[in-house]
Every structure is written in C-alpha cells, then in structure tokens.
Amino acid sequence: MAILVLVRHGESTANLANIFTGWLDVALSPKGETEAQQVAEKLRGFHFDVAYSSTLIRAERTLDIIVARPAWATLPVHHADALKERMYGDLQGLNKTEVALKYGQAQVDEWRRSYDVAPPNGESLQQTQARAVLYFEAEIAPQLRAGQDVLIVSHGNTLRGLRMYLEKLTPEQVVALEIVTGAVHEYQFDAQLNIVAMRNL
C-alpha cells in the first residue's frame, strides 16, 4: 500500500495582501512560514521515498521547511512547472476586492471556482488540472504503483484539480472544494491506485 500526501504551501505575501497570485513568484509571509512548520510537525512520523513541488518559491520554501530534518537529508526532491498554480492571466497582481467591485462578485466567483471558465488570458481549472494530471500520470503514479510513499507540495487550484481527478469529483462538486494554506491531505492506495483511505491531517 502506498501513501500520497498533498500539501498546499503556507500563506504567501500575496495571499496576505488579497492579491490574485497565479504565476507571480512571491515569498511566504511570516504566517506562511509558521504554517509550513506546523505541516512539518504533522508529518514528523511519516516516511517518504520522494517529494515533489512546483517551481514557485512559496511551494519550494514550504517543502524545504518540511524536509529540513536529518532523516530526510537524502530524500529525492523534484520541482516541476506542471505543478505550478493556475495562471490567472490579466488578474495576476490585482486586488481581489477591487476586481470584484469592477466585474461583480458573481463573475469573480465564476473565474475562481468554476471548472471550465478561465479568467481573461488565464487558465481554467480544467486546463490547470490537465497539465497537473499529465505530470502525475507520467512521473508520480508509477512511484505509487511501485509502493513508494510520495509527498507533493503545490497550490490551491492545482491541488483542487488533482483531488478532483483522484476522487472522481464532478465539476459541480469541485466548486465547493476549498483548500486552505497549509492544508494536508493523505491518501492510501492499493497497487492499482484505488483509494483505500483518505483523511485531512
């Protein structure tokens, strides 16, 4: 039986400022650093064979904090563009409240939460999911099928897409799926990658 743990990075400076972040490369806030330390404590008793993160600083830093212990000094770590956050296009760098005032909250909610509607010049969740799942199936699923335990540190929308895929959620169900900063979700799989158990930590 293999274990997969999904972690959303700690709060970033852009999260704190209520800004659409997307591919903007921003650091963790002080709270985000603390959240990453809390994740590290939650995972202290786990064994991992390999770890993955996106190439954005907030995910890389969160992973660095999690694995900063002698027992994981030789843990193989891979950084992948495919695990980056959803690209928010013209909204990146803009304040979410101001965007809601300009376009209306209903439109902003559709851009943020829906499955197949993309913000202007950005990615839909469907597009984000497609690249993340392609990478998952090529690089990560073979590890799990071989019985390896895997850690992934990524972003809210990317993880929503992966969870939708793994849990076979519908587009309607994924609208309600909220993944907060520092969230930890564990799966246990059999050799065919059927979910045997899952829980939030």
> Rounded to whole angstroms, how far apart are CA atoms 104 and 165?
30
> Rounded to whole angstroms, how far apart are CA atoms 198 and 201?
10
How many angstroms separate the first and last alpha carbons of the chain?
Answer: 19
Identify whether 78 is a catalytic site residue. Answer: no
Amino acid at 74: T
Identify whether 79 is a catalytic site residue. Answer: no
DSSP letter, residue 137: I
Question: Which residue in the list 60, 85, 123, 155 is annotated as catalytic?
Answer: 85
**H-helix segments, the chain:** 13-16, 30-42, 57-66, 96-103, 105-113, 125-135, 141-145, 156-167, 171-175
Cα–Cα–Cα angle for 66, 144, 171, rounded to 5 degrees: 85
Q: Are 29 and 12 in contact (CB under 8 A)?
A: yes
Q: Which residues contact 133 (CB under 8 A, 6 or more apart)?
A: 161, 162, 165
Give the residue numbers annotated as catalytic, written as ranges: 9, 85
